[in-house]
């Protein structure tokens, strides 16, 4: 019975991700973000349960990746697509500009590539190479909430914002599959960047609430680029 617990949690992750997609296409972005966060909770605990119960399996590994691509790839991509589509309709964009919203689905495509790479890379046991898919999802879900909360500014600066969004999609798609080392919160006791990360998160949450994940993920990337501080020799 215990070997089914991790896969059950993974299925809950997938179910929550599906609900996030539905909410995203319905324009209920706050609920979509909440379901993505819930998926992240299930994703954390399915791995924890698998390790605690020694219930690892090839099926569980594949199921986890499939669930993650829906919850952290398709769901945030759907949020961004719906928002950009609303802007495109309001601005009466035609021709090539009308295709801009579809660029959002690169998030789902590169998330799938990132997950496939992770499953076949033995170097990523205690840290990551490339931006983790959940972190990418939280960035984009928070980004959509931020833009959706400023509709007048978005309509006023629609085209420059669309170009900025396109550039960010391309940048974060590259970060997902890049060879840049990224630290893992699992190394709480050994990586001295993690306390600095959490210290930086506190004022950001206080200022921006759910929209804080845009600067938080940027903070995470910057700390990862700095590299782990070297221990001083005694």
Q: Which residue has the higher pLDDT, 105 or 59?
A: 105
Cα Rg, the chain, nearest whole Å: 18
Q: What is the pLDDT of residue 230?
A: 59
Domains within the chain, CATH numbers bracketed: 2-226 (1.20.120)
Token pair, residue 152, equals: 């007048």
For the ranges 14-28, 72-86, 102-116, 180-194, the lowest mean pLDDT is seen at 180-194
- Spatial distance between the Cα atoms of 70 and 133, rounded to a whole number of angstroms: 11
Q: How would residue 213 be classed by pLDDT, with cut points 50, 70 and 90?
A: very high
pLDDT tens figures, 222-232 = 999 987 665 54
- Angstrom CA distances, 74 to 18, 104, 113, 211, 217, stand at 9, 9, 13, 19, 19
3-state percent helix, strand, coil for the chain, nearest multiple of 5: 80, 0, 20
Torsion-angle region of residue 100: left (phi > 0), alpha (psi -120 to 50) or beta?
alpha
CA distance 99 to 90: 14
Is pLDDT of 155 > 90? no
Rounded Cα distance, 129 and 215, in Å:
20
Q: Which pLDDT band holds residue 234 (cuts at 50, 70, 90)?
A: very low
CA atoms of 101 and 86, how far apart (whole Å): 9
pLDDT for 233 beyond 60: no
């Amino acid at each position: 019975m215990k070997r089914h617990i991790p896969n059950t949690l993974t299925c809950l992750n997938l179910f929550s991700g599906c609900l996030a997609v539905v909410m995203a296409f319905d324009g209920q972005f706050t609920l979509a973000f909440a379901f993505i966060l819930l998926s992240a909770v299930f994703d954390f605990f399915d791995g924890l349960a698998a390790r605690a119960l020694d219930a690892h399996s090839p099926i569980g590994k594949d199921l986890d990746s499939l669930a993650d691509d829906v919850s952290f790839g398709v769901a945030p991509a759907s949020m961004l697509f719906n928002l950009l589509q609303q802007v495109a309709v309001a601005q009466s964009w035609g021709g090539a500009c009308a295709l801009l919203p579809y660029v959002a689905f690169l998030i789902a495509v590169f998330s799938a590539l990132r997950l496939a790479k992770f499953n076949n890379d033995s170097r990523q046991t205690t840290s990551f190479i490339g931006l983790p898919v959940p972190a990418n999802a939280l960035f984009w879900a928070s980004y959509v909430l931020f833009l959706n909360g400023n509709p007048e500014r978005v309509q006023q600066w629609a085209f420059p914002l669309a170009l900025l969004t396109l550039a960010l999609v391309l940048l974060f798609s590259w970060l997902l599959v890049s060879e840049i080392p990224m630290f893992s919160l699992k190394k709480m006791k050994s990586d001295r960047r993690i306390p600095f990360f959490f210290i930086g998160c506190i004022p950001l949450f206080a200022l921006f609430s759910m929209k804080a994940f845009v600067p938080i993920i940027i903070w995470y990337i910057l700390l990862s680029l700095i590299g782990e501080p070297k221990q001083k020799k005694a």
